[in-house]
Chain A
Amino acid sequence: MSNDREQLKALLLSEEIAQLKALQELLQNKQKFSEKVSEVLDPATDLAFKANPAFEKKLSKIDPQSYVEAIKANKQTFIDALLPIIGPMIRKSVTSSIRRFVADVNRAVEMGVSAKALKWRWLAFRTGVPFTEIVFNNTIEYQVQQVFLIDNHSGLLITHVGQEELLHQDKDAISSMLTAIQDFVKDSMGSDGEGLSAAELGDDLLWLIHGSKANIAAVIKGAPTQRLNDAITTTLEHIHIEFNQQLAEPNDWNNNVELKTELEKLLVTKTQSEDEEQQQGINFWPWLLVVCGLLAWWGWSAYQHKVTLNKITNQLNQTAGFMLTGLEYDGGQFIATGLKDPSVEFKNLADNLTVNSTPFLSLADDIIVKRVKNILNDEQLEVTSIDNQVTIQGRSAKDPAWQQKITLIQQLPGVAQLHDATQKIPPKATLADYLANNPPPDKLVVKPINDTLFISGLASQENLTAFNRSIEQFGKVDASQVEIINRKELTQYINRSPLNFSQTRQINETGLKHLSTILSALNKIRRLNTNTSIKLTAQSDCQGSIEQSNTNNQARLNLVQIYLVDNGIPSKHIQTAVIACTSTTNEVDADKIGVWFEVLL
């Protein structure tokens, strides 16, 4: 029975059973089922969203915690993903900050030279307040937007000034809440003082100034200074003095006009000078000063440049043999171009001048004169050139080379005509010729070596001096080897030194010694002149007989003459004489007895 039923089932439902098995297999095989579902997932979600909008919301619901977990797990991935967004934001913020900074710097620079800055500097000098503080007070930007006068006992608002439309809460609630916060802070922190005094509300600032009966709460936008705080404190003190009764009586709190007026004084707005400038127009003064300064500098520089240019131009134009064709200024350097004769030498050129020249032959008179002088090579000759007419003046030896020079000069370019106006100098005598005609005196010998004349030998001082002068024209004289013999002194010595002796047969020792000295002096004189003679004169005191005296005189004369001859004096250079006695004397006078000498030059 059972088999029959199975067979019947197989016959009737075999196809459906196979399909069910296939479906079952599909459901059990995750891979195949996923593939199948993925084919219809997209159109299915579209249909679901269309049919049920709430379904879309559910799918798009964001779980913040999932973000937190994801960021924790993949920090770097989120950083990489956010970088393209955050980067430009940061750059934008930095750019904005830099712009503000640049604007502040510009403003500060403008302030440095503006009339207002000068005024502030004067104010700082006059009041003793630092300049920076004055600038800060005048440029800082803030606005007191709200002022609350609050009863510090109940926290209720006494009066309020400011724009109520800017408040997000009821002003009474605000004043109460401010008091509550103060109490809370004081209670929490255990402070015995005045409690909360300031709070920041985003870009706004809240100041709480405490009084004995009332507090002032001020809402300020921007960056206020301590002076504002001082001003508020002063106002609060003033209110406590002037409105003491009103503060104590709650019925007088609201709509107290005088109190409001007092508080309204605190509603100040401090703007930067930029705002004033925008109202008054742009302040051109700093720029005008800068422009004037630049113009003055430019004018001065241009003037200096022109002066230098003219100086260089004049200098180059006045340089003979240089033809200036161009002058440029480049990179702080003057560059002159032109034609330059090779003989030109620039002197005292400016440091910042460079000369680029092309060689050429100049026909300028100065250059012609230079060329002529180079050929003549004689500093004593004067050369002039006027319109190519060359004139040579001075004294010249006009030796054979002279004519060659003249011929060469005539061939020079630019020399149209040559006038030789020189006078001939007689040729100089030579040393040999001179000495031939003027032999050296005494025993002097001249020997020229190079440019020096060496003199040697014997000479008297006067002769040597005269000779030196006469030969100086031939060169430098060196007389260091000359032996000077003073003939005059020697002659005077001999002539004034008679040999007094009375012996007639021989000369005593003292007499011989004296005679030797006379002989030595005479020989010196004779070295200068061998023809020098000596005269011997004998005389006596004529004591005794005249005959004997004369005999004795002759005897003494002979003794001296023999001595001189024996010692080399030729007899022909000895003259003798006897002064004969004509009368006799009775007194013996030894000084009158002897032989006297006289040099005969």
Chain B
Amino acid sequence: MKSKKICMIGRFAVGKTSLVDRYVKNQFSEKYQTTVGVSISTKIIDVTTKFVIWDIAGFEQKNHYKPYLRGAHAIIYVVDATEPESLQTLDQIIQDSPELKALPAVCFINKADLVDNIMWQDQFNTKINQLTKHSYWTSAKTGDNVEAGFVALSHLIS
């Protein structure tokens, strides 16, 4: 079995940890607990692959997160559908670490369950397409598309 390092990237409070919890533990908590440094979880995808998921915090601090990205096999970008400003964080990260563009990646547009608060516009999709062609409207709360997103990533890696 081969281990694959997957890094979750995104602005604070976009739901990175919730998505991991949903995928790994199938749990969700309404309570927000900020991640300090990095949180690591593992998930066996199949008999040959195991995801080691690095849920990284602190993207607001320039270069602070960079050491955690070393050796990553794939990236999961996460944005908040109710806060399009979270896309700007991804732009900043890509500017700081352009090598990430070369890695297999998916993008989770999270909090899709908050229908009344979604402020998504088509132009945002254009921006996401510059990062990855594989984006999913996900809800950590309901679990919608979470599994599908990770499975898609595993296919991309393999």
Give A contacts to B, CB under 8 Å: 151, 153-157, 170, 172-173, 176-177, 180-181, 183-184, 186-187, 250-251, 253-254
Shortest CB-to-CB span from B104 to chain A, Å, is 15
* Category for how many chain B residues contact A: 10 to 19
Given contacts A176-B5, A187-B64, 4 further A-B contacts (CB under 8 A): A155-B5, A172-B50, A183-B68, A187-B67
Asked, given contacts A151-B71, A172-B50, A187-B64, whether A156 binds B5 with beta carbons under 8 Å apart, the answer is yes
Shortest CB-to-CB span from B43 to chain A, Å, is 9
The reply on B52 being an interface residue by CB < 8 A is: yes
CB-based nearest A residue for B41? A173
Residues 50-90 of B, flagged 1 when their CB comes within 8 A of A and 0 if not, give: 10101000000000100110111100000000000000000
A156 to B5 Cα, complex, angstroms: 7
Whether B64 contacts A170 by the Cβ 8 Å rule is: no
Q: Give chain A residues whose Cβ lies under 8 Å from the Cβ of B64.
A: 187
Asked, given contacts A177-B40, A184-B37, whether A254 binds B67 with beta carbons under 8 Å apart, the answer is no
Asked, given contacts A153-B70, A172-B50, A173-B52, whether A180 binds B40 with beta carbons under 8 Å apart, the answer is yes
Asked, given contacts A176-B52, A177-B40, whether A251 binds B2 with beta carbons under 8 Å apart, the answer is yes
Please give me the 5 A-B residue pairs with the lowest Cβ-Cβ distance, nearest first.
A154-B71, A183-B67, A153-B71, A170-B42, A180-B38
Shortest CB-to-CB span from B1 to chain A, Å, is 6
Interface residues of B in 79-112 (CB under 8 A from A): none
The reply on B145 being an interface residue by CB < 8 A is: no
Q: Give chain A residues whose Cβ lies under 8 Å from the Cβ of B52.
A: 155-156, 172-173, 176
A153 to B2 Cα, complex, angstroms: 16
CB-based nearest A residue for B51? A172
Q: Give chain A residues whose Cβ lies under 8 Å from the Cβ of B71.
A: 151, 153-156
CB-based nearest A residue for B54? A176
Shortest CB-to-CB span from A300 to chain B, Å, is 74
Q: Give chain A residues whose Cβ lies under 8 Å from the Cβ of B37.
A: 180-181, 184
Residue in A153, A176, A250, A254 whose CB lies within 8 Å of B40: A176
The reply on B3 being an interface residue by CB < 8 A is: yes
Whether B67 contacts A186 by the Cβ 8 Å rule is: yes
The CB with the most chain B CB atoms within 10 A, among A176, A180, A183, is that of A176
Q: Give chain B residues whose Cβ lies under 8 Å from the Cβ of A151.
A: 71
Residues 13-28 of B, flagged 1 when their CB comes within 8 A of A and 0 if not, give: 0000000000000000
Whether A172 contacts B38 by the Cβ 8 Å rule is: no
Q: Give chain B residues whose Cβ lies under 8 Å from the Cβ of A177.
A: 38, 40
Q: Give chain B residues whose Cβ lies under 8 Å from the Cβ of A186.
A: 67
Whether B2 contacts A250 by the Cβ 8 Å rule is: yes
Q: Give chain A residues whose Cβ lies under 8 Å from the Cβ of B2.
A: 250-251, 253-254
Residue in A154, A157, A184 whose CB lies within 8 Å of B38: A184
A184 to B40 Cα, complex, angstroms: 13
Shortest CB-to-CB span from A210 to chain B, Å, is 14
A153 to B73 Cα, complex, angstroms: 12
Q: Give chain B residues whose Cβ lies under 8 Å from the Cβ of A251.
A: 2
Shortest CB-to-CB span from A509 to chain B, Å, is 157
A183 to B67 Cα, complex, angstroms: 6
Residues 30-51 of B, flagged 1 when their CB comes within 8 A of A and 0 if not, give: 0000000110111000000010
Shortest CB-to-CB span from B117 to chain A, Å, is 33
Q: Give chain B residues whose Cβ lies under 8 Å from the Cβ of A187.
A: 64, 67
Q: Give chain A residues whose Cβ lies under 8 Å from the Cβ of B3.
A: 156-157, 172, 253-254
CB-based nearest B residue for A158? B3
CB-based nearest A residue for B36? A184
A156 to B73 Cα, complex, angstroms: 11
A176 to B41 Cα, complex, angstroms: 9
A153 to B71 Cα, complex, angstroms: 6
Residue in B1, B42, B54 whose CB lies within 8 Å of A180: B54
A438 to B54 Cα, complex, angstroms: 151
CB-based nearest A residue for B1? A254
